[in-house]
Amino acid sequence: MKIALINENSQAAKNGVIVETLKKVVEPLGHEVFNYGMYSADDAEQLTYVQIGILAAILLNSGAADLVITGCGTGEGACLACNAFPGVLCGHVVDPTDAYQFTQVNNGNCIAMPFAKGWGWGAELNLQYVFEKLFVEEWGGGYPKERAVPEQRNAKILNEVKKVTHRDLLDILPNLDQELVKGAVAGKQFKDLFFANCKCDKIAEYVKTIVD
The b-or-e profile of 112-124 (16+ CB within 10 A means b, else e) is bbbbeeebeeebe
Please tell me the predicted confidence (pLDDT) of residue 11: 96
Give the global pTM.
Answer: 0.96
Beta pairing class for 32-35 and 2-5: parallel
For residue 5, what are the contacts with CB-CB under 8 A and spacing of at least 6?
15, 18, 19, 22, 33, 34, 35, 36, 68, 69, 70
Give the residue among 105, 22, 118, 11 at the shortest CA–CA distance from 67.
Answer: 22
Please work out, in degrees rounded to the nearest 5, the angle formed at the alpha carbon of residue 20 by the alpha carbons of 9 and 134. 90
Kindly report, residue by residue over 21-31, the tens digit of the pLDDT. Answer: 999 999 999 99
The 10 Å Cβ neighbour count of residue 144 is 10
Walk me through the domains of the chain, giving residue ranges and CATH numbers: 2-100+108-136+168-211 (3.40.1400.10)
Instruction: Give the residues across from 171 on adjacent strands.
Output: none
Beta bridge partners of residue 110, listed in sequence order:
68, 90
Chain segment 38-58, per-residue pLDDT in tens: 999 999 999 999 999 999 999
pLDDT of residue 72: 97
Paired residues of 71 in beta bridges:
113
Quick one: which of 48, 95, 37 has its CA closest to 72?
48
CB 98 within 8 A of CB 91: yes
Q: Residues, the chain, total? A: 212
Say whether 70 sits in a helix, a strand or coil. Answer: strand
* 119-134: pLDDT as tens digits: 999 999 999 999 999 9
**% the chain with pLDDT above 70:** 100
Cα dist from 176 to 10, 77, 112, 172, whole Å: 23, 18, 23, 7
Nearest to 140 by CA among 108, 173, 114, 166: 108
Cβ–Cβ < 8 Å for 154, 51: no
Residue 89 has pLDDT above 90, yes or no: yes
Tens of pLDDT, residue by residue over 139-197, are 999 999 999 999 999 999 999 999 999 999 999 999 999 999 999 999 999 999 999 99
| Model confidence at 212: pLDDT above 90 | no
